[in-house]
Amino acid sequence: MAKTALVVGGTGPTGPFIVEGLAERGYAVTILHRGFHEVEFKYPVKHIHGEPHFKEEFQQALGDLTFDVVVCMYGRLRLVAESCVGKTERFIAVGAGTPEDQHLPIYDVIQEREDGTILQRVTEAREQVFDYHRAGHYQATYIGYPIVYGPRQPGPLEWSIIRRILDGRRKFILLDNGLYIRNCPYVENCAQTVLLAIDKPEASAGKLFAATEEALPTDRYRLQLIADIMGVGDEIETYSFPLDLGLPGWWWGNGDFNFAKEGRPPHIVHRTVAVEKLKHELGYRDVVSVEEAHRRTVQWLLDHKPERGGEDERIMGDPFDYAAEDAYIEAYKRFTRELDTIPFSGYFSVHRYQHPKKPWEHGTSLVITERKTARKGKKS
């Protein structure tokens, strides 16, 4: 008899990869979802339309069914975890959060602010899952997801770049030169973490992992990569604005859900997660490279363009206000011209190692004495 798996959700960004991965591992897969979004799977999959946000409705939809493994990716984790007691031997929860042993403090100098109420609820739900594990009701693993990118991702950041290029834009405002590093893994790489946890029950039992990938590109790199994929990489012009001053570029911070409501710049910091734990304990490797992942994402969005002003663009919050962007860039140029009028003593340099021109010569021997300004090599 085939092993059985229930995926709660299964039709979002990473769900189809997990569903199909389970089928390829010999599982008979059932998905329980609300039926608002359907996906064509490569393999036969049983559908149950139920409501995973409310306990009574979820239990009614589940009935007397039992499964070898349950993967909860959708709904209210608390009630799904409780309702699956006695119905499975393994419970894989997908939520949010990063364990301490996956933090990268060398980059995460500034702590990202989060909504305390939401964070508390996430933590409580996660601990409830592990309480069931400790009580022996089932073997539990928790996978913390960040914001991801790829097909079916709501409010895709990549569309802010792609639409501008489609609209003929070649000038982009970057916040702090686009050097923020984001843990924003590709959907298939995220799904691989879940599948590896299923493959390795002993290594994953009772543990919290954060989904990540080997590549951690900056915003600037992602912009250039998408422009290259769309054939306009050589035409892109970028303008670096400090976060507080780059108002038309605040769409880069659309992972902060409250900045527009609170009338402040988005909280943008490095978001980095170490991949070594996944490698050492689960044998993780990226299944899709960052270049190929962006190529697939661009193609998906070109084939499934978000409606202008529709739900995805409202999630993104990007106004696509090109007139304001152009005005900011012109102000930037005026500012740099004004800076060039300010007298400045300039820089000189001395090579830090000696280069004697004759035997036993001592002291600096390579000196640039003509002072230069920082821009354009102009003399002061």
pLDDT tens digit sequence for 18-37: 999 999 999 999 999 999 98
Examine the pLDDT at 130 and tell me if it is beyond 60: yes
Whether the Cβ atoms of residue 60 and residue 37 lie closer than 8 Å to each other: no
Number of other CB atoms surrounding residue 201 within 10 Å? 14
Q: Are 143 and 283 in contact (CB under 8 A)?
A: no
Q: Provide φ and ψ at 38, rounded to 5°.
A: -115, 150
pLDDT digits (tens, 9 = 90+) for 296-338: 999 999 999 999 999 999 999 899 999 999 999 999 999 999 9
Average pLDDT, the chain: 91
Q: Give the domain ranges of the chain.
A: 343-380
* pLDDT recorded at residue 60: 96
Q: Please give the pLDDT value at position 287.
A: 97
pLDDT-derived band at 378 (thresholds 50, 70, 90) equals very low
Q: Mean pLDDT over residues 169-189, rounded?
A: 96
Q: Each residue of 240-293: pLDDT tens digit?
A: 999 999 999 999 998 888 888 888 999 888 889 999 999 999 999 999 999 999
Tokens of 14: 């990473």
* Per-residue pLDDT tens over the stretch 180-217: 998 999 999 999 999 999 999 999 999 999 999 999 99
Percent of the chain with pLDDT over 70: 92
Q: Return the DSSP state at 70.
A: E
CA distance 98 to 121: 15
- For residue 347, the model assigns a pLDDT of 74
Give the C-alpha separation, 297 to 156, whole Å.
9
Residue 116 has pLDDT above 70, yes or no: no
User: What is the per-residue burial (b if ≥16 Cβ within 10 Å, else e) of 148-162?
Assistant: bbbbbbebbbbbbbb
